């Protein structure tokens, strides 16, 4: 294309994209007007108005996020037609709703990501726009259908991966590669496992898959939402912008420690304790711990009933316990059975003594009337309630677990390993969350709490009825001087609407606070770290078993984590899970990956490292320092990076000032990484090797290593220097 022809094309594309923004602005104004009208109320019930307001608010958000990079490309067919590709779809209302911009998730957009020179998908050209704000700056064209090498969209892809990192993960909607697009659009109703080494984009692919599923299956998925599970809050914050940038907001983000709403994690388990808690064998321990709280009295418990002394002996309690356990109900709900049996025995014994010589069972009416009086007396007897609490107490998950952990005797009674002992029983760890969640089902509801909630509901209903009676009476008693304004009118239907028990919170807020909420789809990132108990919780959260599972077995650090995907998934979805791998490293430059690959070959030789698509030109370096020199060397790195664009991090073992643990950086990426004392990280065995592998592969541009002891053999490929060097050069420190 000549320079003049190119400039004319740029002007034409600018004009077209400007027209798209004009349509976007008009659509945004229309939605805003309808939203404001809905807020004022325009007919329908209160519930219908709430639904309308929520739907319009969601549409407004979708249009707002589309403002950034609305249109990023164009496809030209062999017949000369062309289609524009963007974040959302826009239509020409005057031309039978013809699309003027295709949503990137639409089937017609697929060729933009998968067409190659060898397989052009009936396309002649792919054009990618480079924009600044709302204006097209320039574009690059790729002519398809000619035998030529290279990946599609290399220029745009390399510009994206070489750009300095910001505060959060960016979407890749404009640069999705064919390997990634195939996974994003995969039509599989069960569990999809995406495995890939560092930098392969498995997380962002999973998030784009969520956006695609919400686009293609919105009616099925939207009412229940999507759950995304990540390894730590920093990771969730890092990825949290991707889906909103794609116009999707009905997504709940949580760690495994958030499985129990309101749980505050304050401690960390030893590897052995985490392994024990993560195994399904802990289910037997939990059941035994509950059974241990269902006690028999060592000595009879005496009560006064109708002026008589009656007792609960071991034989009575044992019969009641057997019946309660045989009911199959959770512990707290089975307490009613236990209470019923004990009540029966006590009242029978009391009636026999009261009616001695004058009352027989043939006088059924008198017998039952006397029993009713005695049952009522027992119900109000504090001593009877105390006896029940001693023998069959109402339990909470926190109470069961805290008292179990802090008591060697209870651990032995439950058949648990003493490695679970801790003096502070309610110093919760991440591994406790699935156990507490399990105990919710094993214990069941507290009938006293249910009765209180029912009383409150009835009180609110009575209040509503009283308000209505008062308003009616007020209107009937008005004299001629009173004036009834339109705002005073209140009809029964409106009043009923106001007092219907409706939850007006957004879906994300409701779902995160509700332990019993179920999702239509679940994304599990860093899934190799999840234990068997974690998976048990997640399967309860998603009855339809629709999952996108993301991980890398080579990066597993948890003693309770997965050693194979089949071991975790087959018990729940036998034959209903498929495996896909990502093999191209878009994040880690070849210089850094070479160092990480040497370490990988030592601790996981069967794993093939991903191939980097680029080199950065900067050789990773190492520098040996003394204990006294270490703080200054770390400060030097921090100062140097503060003057550069992008992000940086110091990763090291506990005790290194200013350093974070490698586990806290899982899933994150930084322009520059300084790894401190790798020899100490490696000393933690196989878990330490995985930690170091994670640390090394966080860098997108620059990697440095400070070591006090001898440099580990796997890292001898580093350039020993005081400062980073350009490839092919070496400077002494």
String of DSSP letters for 622-650: EEE--TTTHHHHHHHHHHHHHTSSS-EEE
Pairwise CA distance, residues 359 & 366, whole Å: 8
Residue 149's alpha-carbon distances to 46, 117, 146, 200, 590, in angstroms, are 61, 8, 9, 21, 20
Beta bridge partners of 706: 623, 676
* The residue to which tokens 């690959």 are assigned: 597
HEC assignment per residue over 529-546: HCCHHHHHHHHHHCCCCC
Pairwise CA distance, residues 84 & 15, whole Å: 13
Output phi, psi for 101, to 5 deg: -150, 125
Longest dimension (CA), the chain: 120
Which distant-in-sequence residues (6+ apart) come within 8 Å of 505 by Cβ?
513
Pairwise CA distance, residues 342 & 316, whole Å: 7
Contact 103, 66 (CB under 8 A): no
Pairwise CA distance, residues 466 & 459, whole Å: 10
Please, what is the Cα angle at 210 between 207 and 214, to 5 degrees? 145
String of DSSP letters for 639-687: HHHHTSSS-EEEE-STT-TT-B-GGGGTT--EEEEEEE-HHHHHTTHHH
Binding residues for ATP: 196-203
Judged by DSSP in three states, 386 sits in helix
Which distant-in-sequence residues (6+ apart) come within 8 Å of 243 by Cβ?
207, 210, 211, 228, 249, 251
Pairwise CA distance, residues 204 & 560, whole Å: 26
Binding residues: 196-203
Judged by DSSP in three states, 467 sits in helix
Pairwise CA distance, residues 708 & 678, whole Å: 9
């Amino acid at each position: 294309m000549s320079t003049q022809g190119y400039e004319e094309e740029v002007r034409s594309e600018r004009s077209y994209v400007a027209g798209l923004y004009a349509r976007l602005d008009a659509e945004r104004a229309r939605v805003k007007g309808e939203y404001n009208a809905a807020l004022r109320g325009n007919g329908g019930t209160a519930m219908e108005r709430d639904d309308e307001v929520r739907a319009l608010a969601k549409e407004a958000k979708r249009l707002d996020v589309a403002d950034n990079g609305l249109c990023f490309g164009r496809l030209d067919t062999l017949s000369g037609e062309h289609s524009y590709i963007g974040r959302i779809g826009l239509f020409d209302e005057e031309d039978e709703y013809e699309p003027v911009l295709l949503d990137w998730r639409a089937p017609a957009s697929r060729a933009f990501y998968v067409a190659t020179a060898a397989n052009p998908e009936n396309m002649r050209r792919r054009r990618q726009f480079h924009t600044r704000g709302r204006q097209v700056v320039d574009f690059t064209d790729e002519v398809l259908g000619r035998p030529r090498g290279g990946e599609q969209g290399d220029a745009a892809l390399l510009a994206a991966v070489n750009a300095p990192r910001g505060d959060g993960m960016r979407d890749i909607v404009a640069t999705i590669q064919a390997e990634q697009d195939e996974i994003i659009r995969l039509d599989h109703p069960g569990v999809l496992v995406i495995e890939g080494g560092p930098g392969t984009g498995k997380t962002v692919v999973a998030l784009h898959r969520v956006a695609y599923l919400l686009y293609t299956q919105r009616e099925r998925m939207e009412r229940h939402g999507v759950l995304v599970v990540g390894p730590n809050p920093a990771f969730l914050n890092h990825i949290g912008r991707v889906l909103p940038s794609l116009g999707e907001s009905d997504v709940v983000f949580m760690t495994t420690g958030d499985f129990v709403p309101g749980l505050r994690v304050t401690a960390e388990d030893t590897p052995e304790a985490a392994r024990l808690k993560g195994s399904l064998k802990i289910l037997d321990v939990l059941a035994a711990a509950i059974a241990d709280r269902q006690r028999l009295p060592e000595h009879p418990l005496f009560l006064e009933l109708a002026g008589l002394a009656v007792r609960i002996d071991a034989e009575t309690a044992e019969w009641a316990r057997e019946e309660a356990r045989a009911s199959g109900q959770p512990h707290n709900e089975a307490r009613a059975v236990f209470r019923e049996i004990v009540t029966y025995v006590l009242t029978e014994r009391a009636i026999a003594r009261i009616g001695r010589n004058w009352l027989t069972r043939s006088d059924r009416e008198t017998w039952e009337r006397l029993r009713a009086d005695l049952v009522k007396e027992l119900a109000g007897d504090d001593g009877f309630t105390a006896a029940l609490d001693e023998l069959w107490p109402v339990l909470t998950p926190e109470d069961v677990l805290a008292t179990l952990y802090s008591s060697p005797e209870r651990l032995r009674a439950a058949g648990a390993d003493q490695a679970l002992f801790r003096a502070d029983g309610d110093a919760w760890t991440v591994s406790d969350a699935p156990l507490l969640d399990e105990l919710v089902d094993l214990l069941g509801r507290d009938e006293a709490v249910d009765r209180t909630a029912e009383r409150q509901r009835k009180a609110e209903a009575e209040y509503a009825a009283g308000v209505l009676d008062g308003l009616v009476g007020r209107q009937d008693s008005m004299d001629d001087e009173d004036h009834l304004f339109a705002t005073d009118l209140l009809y029964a239907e409106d009043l009923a609407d106001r007092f219907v028990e409706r939850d007006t919170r957004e879906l994300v807020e409701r779902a995160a606070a509700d332990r019993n909420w179920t999702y239509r789809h679940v994304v599990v990132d860093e899934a190799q770290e999840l234990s068997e108990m974690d998976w048990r919780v997640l399967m309860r959260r998603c009855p339809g078993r629709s999952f996108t599972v993301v991980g890398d077995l080579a990066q597993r650090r948890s003693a309770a984590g997965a050693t194979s995907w089949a071991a975790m998934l087959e018990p729940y979805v036998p034959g209903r899970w498929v495996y896909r791998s990502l093999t191209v490293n878009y994040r880690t430059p070849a210089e850094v990956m070479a160092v990480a690959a040497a370490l990988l070959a030592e601790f996981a030789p069967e794993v093939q490292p991903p191939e980097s698509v680029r080199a950065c030109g900067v050789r990773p370096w190492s520098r040996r320092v003394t204990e006294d020199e270490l703080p200054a060397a770390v400060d030097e790195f921090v100062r140097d990076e503060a003057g550069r664009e992008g992000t940086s991090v110091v990763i090291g073992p506990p005790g290194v000032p200013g350093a974070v643990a490698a586990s806290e950086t899982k899933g994150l990426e930084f322009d520059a990484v300084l790894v401190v004392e790798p020899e100490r990280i490696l000393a933690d065995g196989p878990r330490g090797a995985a930690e170091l592998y994670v640390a090394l592969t966080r860098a997108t541009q620059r990697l440095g290593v400070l070591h006090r002891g001898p440099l580990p053999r796997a890292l001898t490929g580093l350039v020993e220097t005081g400062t980073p060097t350009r490839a092919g050069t070496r400077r002494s420190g």
